[in-house]
Amino acid sequence: MRRALASAAFLLCLAAVPAARGLNPGASGTGPASGGDGLQGAIHRAAAAAVPAIVQVEVVELVQGYRKAGLGSGVIFRLEDGSAYVVTNNHVLGQADQIRVRLSAGQDYPATLQGRDPRRDLAVIRFQAPGPLAALDFGDSGQVRPGDWVLAVGSPLGLDSSVTLGVVSAVGRRGGPGGNISDFIQTDAVINPGNSGGALLNLAGKVIGINTWIASDSGSYEGYGFALPSGSVQRSVRDILEASRARYGWLGVGGIDPPATLKQELYLPAAKGALLANLYLDGPAAQAGLELGDYLTQVAGLRIENTPGLIQAVADTPPGTSALVRFSRAGLPMSLPVLLGERPEEQQLAGRNHLLWPGLVAVGGPEGRGVEVVLVFRGTPAERAGLRVGDLVIAVDGEGLAGLPGFFAVLNRLEADCRLDVRRGEEQLAVELGRGESQR
């Protein structure tokens, strides 16, 4: 089970946490010196530089008439005109109507929201405080390798300024709560609820990631922590500071990861990629000439390994970029320049689903005849036509279908509404599949 690091169950228990802070009365003078050379010295220097720039983020949300307290961590990354800017996780803030930050020295200050990036689970808040503050620089997450030493710094279980040591276990991990689009850094540094929004540091004291979630059956540390890489964080932060929101490139497609049998049917190469199963009729890809059944292998120089990789490659390419898209069509390598648009907000995108063509995912039917519907998207031509999961589409406008390749070929030729011959159990149906604006 995957869990975000600031879980509701934990947040309700924070009132008991401060007692734990008194268990360690402080340094006794018998420990190792904080300077020195080698690994120990590097750890001490990185930790000493990081702790003053890591804050505890305390929030209060109004949920169904009740006020709920929450807690996470944050990283001061910018100091400007008396203000400190903090990056944290979006899930730490939730729908908070009160936000405060607590420094490692104990002072706390009210903070205001600057902007959010829900797709990467990031947010930026700002506070003002008298006197000097510390900030951390971002490192290059593109240089991170498995085996690198790292430090995780934050407020696990409300224990502020906690530092743990580990290594990078892997890079490029997918997944996370809420379908986060990033490729995470995996670490075995101890991370627990409350670490959300805290820093993952290299031994040079640079922020290479923002700790975000753990994979756990218990809800606590089991050896698998995940941090958003600093490259993704910096892109989001830049957009939020400039426009109070994140901006993403948009190709206007829906991809699937085809099994080996389907790749053979479509004459797809052995190379990894993503198969276009749906297109927004007014989207950048359709306008540039991409078609259903195209197998994308590269976007703007970024190799595509699967559908999540396609989503991230497009998201990481700024809107307005003329991106060269490499793909295979009927076994032939091809390429097209596509002018990427800006991805609409989620609600706006859902409002355009009448243009998502055809609005379903299908697989080859039994004995190579027709296609079987396995998924229907809301508000699309397929849903409005009344298609259901399990329907077997055997013909389009009277033309029989030889599996999924034939289905894609017929749909790509259409310029108007069409009739589908559908078998639903023992029933034989004829349904009208509307195309685009006619289905508004």
The CA-atom distances, in angstroms, between 194 and each of 60, 152, 197, 219 are 15, 12, 8, 12
Whether 354 sits among the annotated catalytic residues: the reply is no
Contact present, 421 and 433 (Cβ < 8 Å): no
- Please give the span between the terminal C-alpha atoms of the chain, in angstroms, as a whole number: 40
DSSP-derived pairing of the beta strands 253-256 and 341-342: unpaired
419 sits in which H/E element:
strand 418-424
177 sits in which H/E element:
none
Instruction: Please tell me which residue in 7, 73, 91, 354 is annotated as part of the active site.
Output: 91
**HSE value, Cβ hemisphere, 13 Å, CA-based, for 206:** 14
Whether 230 sits among the annotated catalytic residues: the reply is no
Instruction: Please tell me which residue in 141, 155, 161, 196 is annotated as part of the active site.
Output: 196
Contact present, 349 and 343 (Cβ < 8 Å): yes
Tokens of 350: 């859902």
The CA-atom distances, in angstroms, between 426 and each of 385, 422, 423 are 19, 10, 7
CB atoms within 10 A of CB 312: 23
Q: Give the residue numbers annotated as catalytic, written as ranges.
A: 91, 121, 196
